[in-house]
Structure 1
Amino acid sequence: MTTATSITIGNWKGLLGRGAAPRELECLLAIAGGASGKEAARTLGISEDGVKKRLIALGTKWGVTRRTALVAEAFKRGVISPAATALALLMAIHGMIGDDQAMRVRRGGSGGERKIETRVATRRAECALAVA
């Protein structure tokens, strides 16, 4: 959903006019929501290379090279709305209740497992927000 001042993807809202082009912001929101480059491309109807190029372009504008740094910079610049903060708060509360299963990270194996577990935890929190 796109309006004149913001773009919303899932439970994430990004504000336009703060240094990111609309398509760059869409890619950033998809990545911030835990999607891989391939998943973001599928959601946005563009190629995976297109997602990478837009994230690189945004990173160049903001002076960052990693995706996590790009998301952090978006928070710092106020590009990602406080709705994302509510998701982080929900995840933190869920972790404090003692349900380690949702936030569990497997030891051993490749680093890909950790990314998958993080995505699973993010999706569970998004579903909980949608129900609330």
Structure 2
Amino acid sequence: MTTSTSITVGNWQGLLGHGAAPRELECLLAIAGGASGKEAARLLGISEDGIKKRLMCLGTKWGVTRRAALVAEAFKRGLISPAILALCAVLVGQSITSTEEFTRIRRPGERSFAASRIYRRAECASAVA
């Protein structure tokens, strides 16, 4: 039985125990974050060739040849995700359980502040025309 732990590189989080070695996953997360091979090497403290070799090894395991396809495959397998998704999940969960402004039910005819601004802009635009 494999246990899943996570690795975070920059703003990306990846799960171990799903077919990628820890260093391969670190390299993949750095590339997924938009780093070039040279930037990823500097970030992880290895050579640029080391990045290329680890990504090539992972690509061979998954049958993928290009870096963009490698990142897409990792998304498809549920291996990596932006750390912002975890934050969004927390905010959605809070909005569901909260009785604050997020879940406020408006009375008929009551507009939100944003809707009021849109209507005022439309009225001003029609008055000018």
User: Helix, strand or coil for the counterpart of 1:58?
Assistant: helix
- Normalised to the residue count of structure 2, the TM-score between the two structures is 0.61
User: Per-residue CA shift, 1:29-56, capped at 9, x if unaligned?
Assistant: 0000000000000000000000000000
Task: Give the conservation status (yes or no) of the 8 Å contact 2:14–2:80.
Answer: yes
Matched, 1:62 2:62: yes
Distance 1:5 1:81 in 2: 14
Distance 1:41 1:82 in 2: 20
Structure 2 partner of 1:45: 45
- Normalised to the residue count of structure 1, the TM-score between the two structures is 0.60
RMSD, aligned α-carbons: 1.9
Change (3 A) 1:26 1:39: same
Task: Give the conservation status (yes or no) of the 8 Å contact 2:11–2:82.
Answer: no
What 5-or-longer segments of structure 1 have no aligned partner?
87-132
What is the aligned length?
84
- Which has the greater radius of gyration? 2
Structure 1 partner of 2:101: none
Distance 1:20 1:13 in 2: 13
Structure 2 partner of 1:10: 10
Aligned partner of 2:10: which letter?
A: G
Structure 1 partner of 2:119: none
Change (3 A) 1:5 1:37: same
Task: Give the conservation status (yes or no) of the 8 Å contact 1:12–1:33.
Answer: yes
Aligned partner of 1:60: which letter?
A: T
Change (3 A) 1:37 1:82: closer
Aligned partner of 2:81: which letter?
A: S
User: Helix, strand or coil for the counterpart of 1:81?
Assistant: strand
User: Per-residue CA shift, 1:9-34, capped at 9, x if unaligned?
Assistant: 11100000111000000000000000
Change (3 A) 1:68 1:85: farther
Percent of pairs identical after alignment?
86
Task: Give the conservation status (yes or no) of the 8 Å contact 1:13–1:84.
Answer: no
Q: Which has the higher contact order (CA 8 A, sep 6+)?
A: 1
**Matching of residues 98-117 of structure 1 within 5 Å:** none
Change (3 A) 1:10 1:55: same
